[in-house]
């Protein structure tokens, strides 16, 4: 049985890296989703009824009835207002996409990490926020 040359990568791993399913992290490879951009977030949120954009150019926020739906905290992090009842299911279903820092534990909010977030996860959280705030 032929041996692979020292230092070579498994062909499947190389193919997965090439198509964006895995990336190298030290000596380990891990799965990751396509990056979600702030422009994609803006386009999606602004397509929802009753949403108004506020904030600044560098830190935009979107509201329904003057209630926060989502805010761009920095170029790679969103703050999304979600019901506490839905927050845990988001965290369980998409652990790489969302987190709750200690300062937000008592609030109806999650952080979405755009570099690692799955686009459908971000849309699901925004939908929860929009539904909660439009009532």
pLDDT digits (tens, 9 = 90+) for 86-131: 999 999 999 999 999 999 999 999 999 999 999 999 999 999 999 9
Indicate if the pLDDT at residue 25 is higher than 50: no
Residue 27 pLDDT grade (very low, low, confident, very high; cuts 50, 70, 90): very low
Helices (H), the chain: 11-18, 38-46, 84-93, 119-134
What's residue 28's pLDDT?
33
- Band (47; pLDDT cuts 50, 70, 90): very high
pLDDT band at residue 80 under the 50/70/90 scheme: very high
pTM for this structure? 0.74
Per-residue confidence (pLDDT) for residue 35, from 0 to 100: 85
Per CATH, the number for 38-134 is 3.90.1150.30
Q: What's the pLDDT score for residue 81?
A: 98
Nearest-angstrom CA–CA distance, 89 and 105: 15
pLDDT at 34: 60
Q: Which of 57, 113, 50 is nearest to 80 (CA)?
A: 113
Residue 59: which of 67, 49, 43, 70 has the closest Cα? 70
The two structure tokens encoding residue 25: 């992290």
CA 81 distance to own-chain centroid: 13
Q: Give, for 62, the enclosing helix (H) or strand (E).
A: strand 60-64
Where are the chain's structural domains?
Answer: 38-134
């Amino acid at each position: 049985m032929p041996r692979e040359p020292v230092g070579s990568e498994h062909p499947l791993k190389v193919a997965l890296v090439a198509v964006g399913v895995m990336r190298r992290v030290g000596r380990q490879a891990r799965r990751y989703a396509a990056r979600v951009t702030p422009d994609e977030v803006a386009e999606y949120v602004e397509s929802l009824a009753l949403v108004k954009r506020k904030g600044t150019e560098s830190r935009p926020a979107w509201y329904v009835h003057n209630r926060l739906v989502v805010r761009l905290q920095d170029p790679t992090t969103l703050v999304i207002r979600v019901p506490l009842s839905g927050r845990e299911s988001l965290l369980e279903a998409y652990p790489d996409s969302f987190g709750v820092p200690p300062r937000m534990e008592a609030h109806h909010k999650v952080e979405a990490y755009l570099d690692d977030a799955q686009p459908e996860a971000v849309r699901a959280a925004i939908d929860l926020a929009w539904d909660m705030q439009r009532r």
